[in-house]
Structure 1
Amino acid sequence: MPKLVRLYIHHTLIGFALSGVFVAALLWLNVANLWHLVSGSSAGWLAGFMLFMFNGIVFSGVQFGITIMRMAEDTPPDGGSRPRNVALELQPVPVRNLRRGVGEAAGTTRQP
């Protein structure tokens, strides 16, 4: 099996294990009266299973994403001759005032 597939399956299992712990803690602590809702309904087991599955999908995706991001190599930047730490300076930009009085053409002056 390729290493990347093995890595994905491994971290998916970790994500679903975290989901099981999370859902168990939600039910045990009775957050938002969730234990009563799951245990008091005939379809409560389905709600608990869906909670486990959807949290498992999210947790495994996050787990795999974090693992992939941590695999990046720290390579020094290469190429380019510009110095890396350049202090930026503000430069004035001349702006022509295009607002004129009514009936005046641009570039003309007002005569009294």
Structure 2
Amino acid sequence: MPRLVRLYIKQVAYGFVLSAVFVGMLLGFNVANLRHLMFATDGGWIAGFMLFFFNGLVFAGVQFAIAIMRMADPEDKGPKGGHRAPVRQGQLIPIRIRADDRR
């Protein structure tokens, strides 16, 4: 298996573990009375699963982005900013418009 795919799978697993911790803390601290709402409703487990799953997707994406950005060389001394073309300064020219021309 390529290293990048292995890195991606590992970061996705970390993201879903973070999501489980996050949802557990949300329910444990009963933020916005969410625990009562989920346990008192018939389909509350669906809301819990969706909360876990979609937070897992977000956290996995963030974990993978951080891992990729940390792979850069710390001593990257390449060109910074590039060459900028001079901005052309134009002259403003007044344009007369006839006000009595109605449609």
Structure 1 length normalisation: TM-score?
A: 0.69
How many residue pairs get aligned? The number is: 87
CA shift, 1:94, in A, is 8.7
Indicate the residue corresponding to 1:2 in structure 2: 2
Q: Secondary structure at the match of 1:75?
A: coil
Kindly tell me: are residues 64 and 94 of structure 1, through their superposed partners in 2, closer, same or farther at Cα, counting changes over 3 Å? closer
For the pair shown, which has the larger CA radius of gyration, 1 or 2? 1
Tell me how far apart the structure 2 counterparts of residues 53 and 95 of structure 1 sit (CA, whole Å): 57
Quote the RMSD (CA, aligned, Å). 2.2
Residue 43 (1) aligns with residue 38 (2): no
Distance 2:19 2:76 in 1: 35
Deviation at 1:75, TM superposition (A): 2.1
Shift of 1:77: 1.9
The reply to whether residue 20 of structure 1 matches residue 29 of structure 2 is no
Distance 1:44-1:95 versus aligned 2 partners, 3 A rule: closer
Q: Deviations over 1:48-103 (max 9, x none)?
A: 0000000000000000001001111232125xxx8xxxxxxxxxx7957x55xxxx
- Please give the TM-score of this superposition, normalised by the length of structure 2: 0.75
Runs of at least 4 residues of structure 1 off by over 4 A? 93-96
CA distance in structure 2 between the aligned counterparts of 1:94 and 1:54, rounded to whole angstroms: 51
Identify unmatched segments of 5+ residues in structure 1: 83-92, 100-112
2:52, 2:62 → 1: CA distance?
Answer: 15
Percent of counterpart pairs with the same letter?
55
| 3-state SS in 2 of match to 1:76 | coil
Tell me whether 54-63 or 68-77 shows the greater mean CA deviation.
68-77
Unaligned ranges ≥5, structure 2: 84-88, 95-103
Which of the two has greater helix per residue?
Answer: 2
